[in-house]
Chain A
Amino acid sequence: MLHTLSLVDLASRLRDRSLSAVELSQHFLDRIDNASKLNAFITVDPEQVRTQAESADQILSTGDSHVLCGIPLAHKDIFCTEGMKTSCGSKMLDNFISPYDATVVKRLANAGMVTLGKTNMDEFAMGSSNETSWYGPVLNPWSEQRVPGGSSGGSAAAVGARLAPIATGTDTGGSIRQPAAFCGLTGLKPSYGRVSRYGMIAFASSLDQAGPIARSCEDAALLLDAMSGHDPLDSTSVNNDPSTASAQLANTISGLRIGLPKQFFEDGIDPEISRAVDVAIETLKSLGATTVEVDLPNSAAGIPCYYVIAPAEASSNLSRFDGVRYGYRCEDPVDLADLYERSRSEGFGAEVKRRIMIGAYALSSGYYDAYYLKAQRIRRLISNDFDTAFEACDVILGPTTPTTAFGLGAKTDDPISMYLNDIFTNTVNLAGLPGLSLPVGFDNAGLPIGMQLIGKFMQESILLNVGHQYQNVTDWHKAIPQEYQA
């Protein structure tokens, strides 16, 4: 069954020509078709898939190809794709055909990967359940009454149901890691600056990072190595050695010091999650790792801090959607003010409008110091906390989310409880560090449980190494929802 093979196995079959890229992509196109009820994709263009697959086959036949050549993937619909709709989950961009490719899209296309389609997402990446999408909610392949998480919910559902072997996502406060946890997947948010943001529609520029949503650390490492690297078009792109995470997966983790922040194991966490994480820690210990308690004293301030900084940046980033040059324009505007206000009010959904308002408020005259500057000071404290903790350990470990996947509609009327879902993830974005979520078990309802590893700046290879060693001795990452096994 092609959809259960790892990227390494697929690559070797593509190389020895026992499998063609056309055949492989068709397999996934069929699966996407059959699973349309999940609503994981916004756009699928079979014709383009075929063209890309044929050209990959041609390259493969020359024998000189990138390791990922011919492997299909799904892109979150936040990445601009030339000649293809790039909606960002919003009515505002429902008619937007991008005239250019994002750097990530270009890099992976140059490697010979085949774009299966664009995945559903929370509108402008604002949400933790994929319910803010203008294209409707995505269903969790593990339970159709549950959300897949967000904002990269479509990518997670697609990989979870094996509609794609791997997908891209973006993470501003947990948007890769939380859906990965909810769908039993391995999701990596790289260090800020590791992956180019050029062509990735901005939500909060100082927090956004693109990364892989994968079935395993091994797959994730391959995609990370291919999608990352310095980009002169992104002034915040880090200019140093390229990522070689794949080459470091086999390293021993004996002697690894794991930091356990007491704040991540306090009340309020689902006991089933605590238990699964504890068992995973024991497994890592059995591989030679040691644990140490660390302190992240300001982590409770992470959510309030994040909900000032992210909306503030977003309120400004989303000003370009004004109905003038592209995207949605209201019918028959009577004057300029009408054009602006109706295009934006009709084009944006409620959560996007709410965040624009929070952000505009936090930056407005008289409130800037109390909100925006205060949040930036807390941001430094949070970052300093991590620095101090990393003096005593190599990685930090905890649960990815306080609960497993919640019910559809359960939190749509309660933004605060939705926001609290990011409690363990968003401090990582504030500090610009890499974070990895990987599956470590199931709760009683049969829903996947995710565990998070946080690394030092630019050390995602260590996270993937630890995760890979764990996955070598466990099978959680191999579990597939029953309906999608065959």
Chain B
Amino acid sequence: MSITTDDVFAIARLGRLRINDKDASHYAESLTDIMDLVAQMNTVDTNTIKPMAHPQDVNLPLREDKVTEKNCRDALLQIAPSAEKGLFLVPRVVE
């Protein structure tokens, strides 16, 4: 399994990462190595095995429908990089 620099750019885009050309070839190399390691999974026959998403075999606990949270806007906005009039601010979003 060979990962090209184009693959790297595409994957980085999914994760909203910006990778320059020099780093891209570096990542392509290490990701290829890692996916080769991962390919060792193919030596194991898993045809009849059910996927295991979680180490526990439990049900989701459910909480009562009650309002338990108070207004914590000030605490949130205090640590925000940019906020005004009670809102988080980001560069203009075009729809």
Interface of A toward B, CB cutoff 8 Å: 96-97, 99, 192-193, 206-207, 232, 235-236, 238-239, 298, 300-301, 303-305, 307-308, 315, 319, 322-329, 333-342, 344-345, 348, 350, 353-354, 356-362, 364, 371, 373-381, 383, 415-416, 419, 429-433
Contacts and interface: CB of A to CB of B under 8 A. Distances in A.
Contacts, number: 170
- Which one of A235, A322, A364, A373 has the highest number of Cβ atoms from chain B below 10 Å of its Cβ? A235
B44 A298 contact: yes
B35 to A, nearest CB: 8
Given A341-B17, A371-B38, A377-B46, A360 B91 contact: no
Contacts of B8: 357
Contacts of A356: 15, 17
A322 B46 contact: no
Nearest to B48: A377
Interface in B9-49: 11-12, 14-19, 23, 27, 30-31, 33-35, 37-44, 46, 49
A371 B34 CA distance: 12
A344 B60 contact: no
Contact of B55 (A192, A333, A337, A345): A192
15 contacts: A99-B78, A298-B44, A324-B90, A326-B81, A336-B90, A341-B17, A353-B15, A354-B30, A356-B15, A358-B34, A378-B49, A380-B51, A380-B52, A429-B55, A433-B55
Contact of B91 (A308, A319, A339, A375): A339
Cβ-closest 10 pairs across A and B:
A432-B55, A376-B51, A377-B46, A329-B81, A380-B52, A341-B18, A377-B49, A340-B16, A99-B75, A360-B14
Contact of A307 (B17, B37, B50, B53): B37
B67 interface: no
A395 B34 CA distance: 32
Interface residues of B, number: 52
Given A324-B88, A357-B11, A360-B15, A374 B41 contact: yes
Nearest to A363: B14
B81 A323 contact: yes
A238 B56 CA distance: 9
Contacts of A335: 91-92
B9 to A, nearest CB: 10
B61 interface: yes
B90 A339 contact: yes
Given A304-B41, A336-B90, A377-B46, A99 B61 contact: no
- Which one of A207, A374, A419 has the highest number of Cβ atoms from chain B below 10 Å of its Cβ? A374
Contacts of B50: 377, 380
Contacts of B40: 300-301, 303-304
Contact of B79 (A326, A354, A379): A326
Nearest to A335: B91
A342 B16 CA distance: 9
A293 B63 CA distance: 46
Contacts of B78: 99
Nearest to A432: B55
A77 to B, nearest CB: 16
Contact of B15 (A97, A315, A324, A374): A315
Contact of A99 (B11, B12, B76, B91): B76
A236 B52 contact: no
